[in-house]
Amino acid sequence: MRLLILYGSQTGTAQDVAEQLWRTSKTYGFEGPVLAMNDYPVQNLIEETLVLFVVATTGDGDEPDNMRNFWKFLLRRSLPNNSLDKLQYACLGLGDSSYSKFNYAAKKLNKRLQQLGASTIVPMGLCDDQHDHGLGAVALPWMDQVWLELEKRLGVKANGSDSGRIFKWSCRVVDVPYDENRDQNHILWPHKEEPLKLILRENLRTTEEDHFQDVRLLKFDAAEATWSPGDVLQVQPQNSQEQIDEFFSWAEEHKLDFSPDTLVEIASNHKDISVPKCYSQPLTVKQMVTYLWDLSHKPRQRAFELLALNCEDELEKEKLLEFTTAEGLDSLINYINRPRRTVLEVLQDFRQASAKMTLNTLVELFTFIQPRSFSIASCVGSGKLDLLVAVVEYKTKLSKPRLGLCSNWLKSLKVGTTVLGCIKPGTMKLPKNSKTPVIMIGPGTGIAPFRGLIQSRFFLTRKDGEVNGVVGDDPSMVVYFGCRNRSKDFHFREDLEQWSKEGVISLHCAFSRDQDHKIYVQHLIEQNVEKLQKLILERQAVILVAGSSNDMPKAVKEAFLKVLNGQETLLEEMVKQKRYQEETWS
């Protein structure tokens, strides 16, 4: 019997969950692929009878990139209301309740499927990354509910085989000389889009040396690239040399059956799983470890399932299997999430299980390094593509600091390095009319997309011969920037102060640690009620908020609610009209 499993995700999380469903479906005798939504010919959905959807939400309640074409097709008004009346489905949403549009993409899909006549197998599951048990708190019982319901409806029974032993890939060692000069683009950029080649011209630390955080301004030559304000650059990082050395030291210690130069050909074990682009040619183990496998990844339950397979130590095996159960979630969270333990550290902790690892199991165990997106902090007219990147480094109870994979890779890049990247639309929808006032709130690195917007309008107004971009007595751009200290982490200080001096922008800065009491951007907003009211109510200004998703977005929205005299309905209407937008990250 056919069961189609479709996922939409900006990261690999939804794919991991979808593949977990796919492995279990095999034990029930189902056949059918697991695919990203855009990889499935959506016009064929009318013929499907059974589909499971796993959907993550990105940005301000948006659908992820690999779902957008699929979603656009479903929104066609020409589709009859009974288009999907043969379809039974279940939908699992992956979200984060710290965002206002929690699991919005999954909710929209669920509603649209029902409008087109599809019927649900079980109620929609809404996973919350903020839950103490993470996504598994909802995902695991939801999965159990799906299989129980399918047993009732279809009479299917699990055949008793172990889903943990269902591998996607098989490895074959290739005994031929490796050609060092062979094109490596399929691993340097393992995605479908054609990448741009960007040459790094500057890599500068913008914060003071004694500041707690290293923030980098990276300037790239991008002669072939075009972009609009608000767009993002997606880059593909790679593991550090320290991590690579650590991996091969671990492999050597356990006398595993490969070396860095072992050449491997990877094939699919199932007709409904395609070999990804990065595995389309034979690779050395060193290439996979350097460019493909995420050594910094927080392992999920599948990793422990694979470690347990051939483990002969009873204590280790018992602990590993506990981590794969719903009852063991508390223990798993304490072991992995709270200290942010990496998959490489897990392999080192479970020494007996590690000693039994094979290359095929490792290929199955490691997740791929995912691309990271950064707001472009310059406009095309500037001649450079700039990124403002906060280097992630923090402490947990583990002695070794936790390092962000991509930000530390970018930090390490030498001038002259060629970086592959892809420009994509950001989540913010900027006003098409350049005279529409824009109120920008960008604390910390949240200022990055706004620098590009200000530059763009600045060049435009100079081109048109306008005087400094001023409309009447008020600049059409109002900027609220916040950081700890004027002297330590005032990003783009020279630009912002010069634009303010020339009347291009109205600049309001909150330096939270430069006085006895803390001042944040929301406090400055509340001090400018009259001017902001005029911009919002009389001149239809657009409000854009960018930065950390912790407390800032909520505090800023509450400040604007005060500006609007508590008119919640008006603020909600502005959100619907894209006159109030947030682009935040955790």
Please state the residue numbers annotated as binding site for FAD.
340, 372-375, 404-407, 585
Contact partners, residue 38, CB within 8 Å, separation at least 6: 65, 66, 67, 68, 69, 70
Annotated binding-site residue numbers? 9-14, 56-59, 94-103, 129, 340, 372-375, 404-407, 445, 512-513, 518-522, 585
Annotated binding-site residue numbers for FMN? 9-14, 56-59, 94-103, 129
Angle between helices 314-323 and 301-308 (to 10 degrees): 150
**Phi, psi (5° rounding) for residue 173?**
-75, 130
Contact partners, residue 432, CB within 8 Å, separation at least 6: none
What count of other Cβ atoms lies within 10 Å of the Cβ of residue 136?
A: 20
CA 217, 221, 227, 228 torsion-angle sign: positive
Convert 464-495 to b/e letters by CB count within 10 Å (16 or more is b).
eeeeebbeeeebbbbbbbbbbeeebbbbbeeb
- CA separation for the pair 248, 564 (Å, rounded): 60
Cβ atoms 585, 550 nearer than 8 A: no
- CA separation for the pair 185, 574 (Å, rounded): 44
- Alpha-helix runs per DSSP H in 428-578: 448-463, 493-502, 521-526, 529-533, 552-563, 568-576
- Output the furthest CA–CA distance in the chain (Å, rounded): 78
Annotated binding-site residue numbers for NADP(+)? 445, 512-513, 518-522
Question: In the chain, count of helices (H) and strands (E)?
Answer: 20, 24
Q: Which structure tokens are listed for 1?
A: 């019997």
Q: Which structure tokens are listed for 103?
A: 């699991």
Instruction: Identify the H or E element spanning 128.
Output: strand 125-128
- CA separation for the pair 191, 189 (Å, rounded): 6
- CA separation for the pair 408, 389 (Å, rounded): 10
What count of other Cβ atoms lies within 10 Å of the Cβ of residue 513?
A: 13
- CA separation for the pair 284, 442 (Å, rounded): 44
Q: In this structure, are strands 438-441 and 542-548 parallel, antiparallel, or unpaired?
A: parallel
Residue with tokens 């699929």: 70
Closest CA to 489 of 214, 84, 130, 229: 214
Residue with tokens 């470890």: 289
Give the three-state DSSP class for 300.
coil
